[in-house]
Chain A
C-alpha cells in the first residue's frame, strides 16, 4: 500500500513538473515570437574554418573580414560565432548542421572541401543561407565565393620579375590543386610578362599546414638561387619566416598581408577583402536572395587588393611599380585577362 502511495506521489509530482514546464514553454515561445520583431535587424553568422583563426592566411583573413563587418554594422547588429580546426569535411558537417539547427542566418564554411557537405545539409534548412569557397557550384540557398587568385598572382609575378636580382622567382606551393594552382599560374604568367628571362620555379610540399616543411622547401628554393619567393595556404608563413632569415631575399604574400610578422621581408601582398563579400551576402539575404550566386572576388569591385609594404617601398624599382599598377588597371578594365590553368 505504501508502495502504491509513493508511486502515486511520484506520478503526481512528475505531472506537476510537466505541467509547469508546459506553461514555461508557452511563455518561452511567446517571447520567442516577439523577440525576432524586436531584434529583427540582428544577423547571426556562424563561421566554420579548416585551420586556426590566427593562421595569418586564408582563415584569419575571413575572421578579420567578419570583425570588420561587425564594426561597420554594429556589434549589436551582427553576431559571429566560429569553429576552427575543422579540416575534415565530416567533422565540419556536424558543426554546420548544428549551427543550422540553432537558427543561425548565415553559415560560412570557409573551404572548397565543404562543397559536397553543404549541398547535402542545405536542403534540410531552406531558410538558412550557406556560403563556401573557393568554388562556383551553387544551390538556391548556397553562395559560392571565388577569389580570382590568378589576377593578384599575375601582378605579384610581374613585380617579382622586375625586382629580382638573381633572375629566379621561387614558389613554395602546398598541394597542386584548386586555389594554389590558380595563384601559381598567375604568378608564372606575370613573371613571364614582367621580364622574359626571369625563371619561375614551382615546388610543392604536399601539405597545407606543415610550416616546417614549407620553411625547408623555401630554404631549398633559396639555395638554388631564388631571391623572391611566394606561396599560398596556411603553411606559407613557415616559408616566409625562412625567407626572413636571409638578407636580400623577399616574400610576396597572398590571402592577407603578412608584413606585420616580417616587416623587412614582405614586399607586397594580395589581400582579400572579405568584409565586402560578407556585406554583399547579408544585403542579398535581406532582399530575399538566400543563395544561388557565384560571387567572384576581383580587383574591379575591390574585393581583392594589392598592398605594398611601405617600409620596403625603396626595394621595388619605380618602373616595376608603374608597370604593375598599369596591369592592375588593365585587369580592372578587362583589357588584360589572366589565363586560368587548363585542366
Chain B
C-alpha cells in the first residue's frame, strides 16, 4: 500500500509538472523565434493576458474552447503586429516598447473584462484527452498521455520549432536576420518581413499560452491572471540559449520544481513554506549559473535594422 501511494504521488508530481510547463513552453518558444530574428519582445506578459481574455471570452460566448484557442491566436497576432509596427517599422527602443505593450495588454484585458463580463464567471474549458494505447503504458501513460490538447501541442512544438529553425530555408533566414541583418539583406532576404513574421508567430504562441491559463487550467478569468508567467518565459529563452530543446529543459526544470514543492507542502513534510515556494526560482538560477560555456546570443538582438548602416 505504501509503495502504491508513493508511485501515485510521483506520477502526480510529474504529470502536474508537465501541465505547469505548458504556458512557459508555448510563450518561450514564441519568444525564441522573435529573438532569433533580432527583436526582443518584453510584452509577452501583456500578450498572454490578452490571449487569456480572448480565449476565455470566445469560449464563454461561442461555447467551444477550440474557438477560444483560435480567438487567442488572432488576438496574439494582432498584438504581435502592433509590436512589429512600433519596434520594426518605427524602430522604437525594443525594451521600452515591449514594456509599453505589456502595460497596454494588462490594462486593456482588465478593461474589456470589466465592460463585457464583470464578476467571476466560469467556463467549460478543455478536457483531458487520453491518447489510446499510449495512456495505458504504466507510469508514463498518466504522466504524458492524459493531458489536454494544448499540453500535447506545446510538447509537439519543441521538435517542430527545432525543425523549422534549423532545417528550413525560412529558419535559416530567421537566424541570418538575427545575426547579420546587413548580410542577409544583401543576399535578398527581406529583414523587415522576417521580423514581422517572427513577432507575429511569437505573439500568437504567447496568446495561446495565455489561453492555456484560462481555458486549459483555471476555467475562468481574473485580472492579472498571468501573474508574471510571461516574464519567466522570457527568462527561460535565455536559460535555453535560444534553442527549443534548451527551452524545454528549462521549462520542465522550473515546473517540476514547482510541482514538487507543492506536493512537499501538501504532504506536510517538514520544510519551511517560504523556501518551498522559491524553490523553482532557485533551481533555475543555480542551473543557469553552473551551466558553463560561451554564452551565445543572436548578434543583432535588440538592434533595429536600418538599410545602409552597419549594426
**Interface of A toward B, CB cutoff 8 Å:** 51-52, 54-56, 85, 170, 176, 199, 201-207, 209-213, 215-217, 219-221, 223-224, 226, 234, 237-238, 241-242, 244-245, 261-262
Q: What's the A-B contact tally at a CB cutoff of 8 Å?
A: 96
B225 with A221: CB separation less than 8 A: no
Task: Specify which chain A residues have a CB less than 8 angstroms from the CB of B19 in the assembled complex.
Answer: 216
Q: Which residue numbers of B lie inside 8 Å of A, CB to CB?
A: 8-9, 12, 16, 19-20, 110, 114, 118-122, 213, 217-220, 222-225, 227, 259, 262-263, 265-268, 273-274, 277-278
Contacts of A216 in B (CB 8 A): 16, 19-20, 217, 262
Given A199-B268, A241-B219, 11 more contacts at CB 8 Å? A51-B223, A54-B120, A56-B120, A210-B227, A213-B227, A215-B218, A216-B19, A217-B266, A223-B16, A224-B263, A224-B267
Are the C-beta atoms of B265 and A203 separated by less than 8 Å? Answer: yes
On chain A, the residues within 8 Å of B225 by CB distance are 211-212
Q: Are A209 and B262 in contact (CB-based, < 8 A)? A: no
Q: Would you call B220 and A211 a contact (CB within 8 A)?
A: yes
Given contacts A176-B273, A203-B273, A261-B120, contact A241 B220 (CB under 8 A): yes
Q: Which residues of A contact B119 (CB under 8 A)?
A: 54, 56
Q: Tell me how far the C-beta of B105 lies from the nearest C-beta in chain A, rounded to whole angstroms.
A: 15
Residue of B nearest to A54 (CB): B119
A85, A170, A220, A242: the one contacting B12 at CB < 8 Å is A220
Q: Are B222 and A238 in contact (CB under 8 A)?
A: yes
Bound Cα distance A216, B9 (Å): 15
List, in ascending order, chain B residues with CB within 8 A of A226's CB: 266
Q: Are B118 and A220 in contact (CB under 8 A)?
A: no
B218 near A262: Cβ-Cβ < 8 Å:
no
Which residue of the partner chain, among B8, B110, B222, B259, contacts A211 with CB atoms under 8 Å? B222
Contact assessment for B217 and A217 in the assembled complex, using a CB-CB cutoff below 8 Å: no
- Are A220 and B227 in touch, CB under 8 angstroms? no
A170:B217 contact, CB within 8 angstroms: no
Closest CB pairs A-B (n = 7): A206-B277, A203-B265, A210-B227, A223-B12, A56-B120, A54-B119, A220-B262
Given contacts A85-B223, A211-B220, A213-B227, contact A204 B265 (CB under 8 A): yes
Chain B residues within an 8 Å CB radius of A224: 9, 12, 263, 266-267
A55 to B224, alpha carbons, bound, how many Å? 12
Q: B263 to A241, Cβ gap below 8 A?
A: no
Q: How far is the CA of A8 from the CA of B12 in the complex (A)?
A: 85
Q: Can you pick out 13 interface pairs between chain A and chain B where the beta carbons lie within 8 Å of each other?
A: A55-B120, A204-B273, A206-B274, A209-B227, A212-B213, A216-B217, A216-B262, A219-B16, A223-B16, A224-B9, A224-B267, A237-B222, A261-B122
* Residues of the A chain whose Cβ atoms lie less than 8 Å from the Cβ of B268: 199, 201-202
Assess the A221–B266 pair: CB atoms within 8 A.
yes
Q: Which residue of B lies closest to A237 (CB)?
A: B120
Point out the residues of chain B lying under 8 angstroms from A262, CB to CB. Answer: 122
B223 touches A212 (CB 8 A): no
A176 to B175 alpha-carbon distance, docked (Å): 47
A238–B266 contact, CB under 8 A? no
For the complex, what is the distance from the CA of A215 to the CA of B220, rounded to whole Å?
10
Q: How far is the CA of A213 from the CA of B19 in the complex (A)?
A: 12
Give the residues in chain A near B8, CB-CB below 8 Å: 223
Distance between Cα atoms of A215 and B217 in the complex (Å): 7
In Å, the complex CA distance between A170 and B265 comes to 11
The distance in angstroms between the C-alpha atoms of A213 and B225, with both chains bound, is 9
By a CB distance below 8 angstroms, the chain A residues around B114 are 54
Residues of A close to B223: CB separation below 8 A: 51-52, 85, 209
| Complex: chain A residue closest to B227, CB-CB | A210
Smallest CB separation, B274 vs chain A (Å): 7
Point out which of B8, B222, B266, B274 has the most chain A C-beta atoms below 10 A from its C-beta.
B266
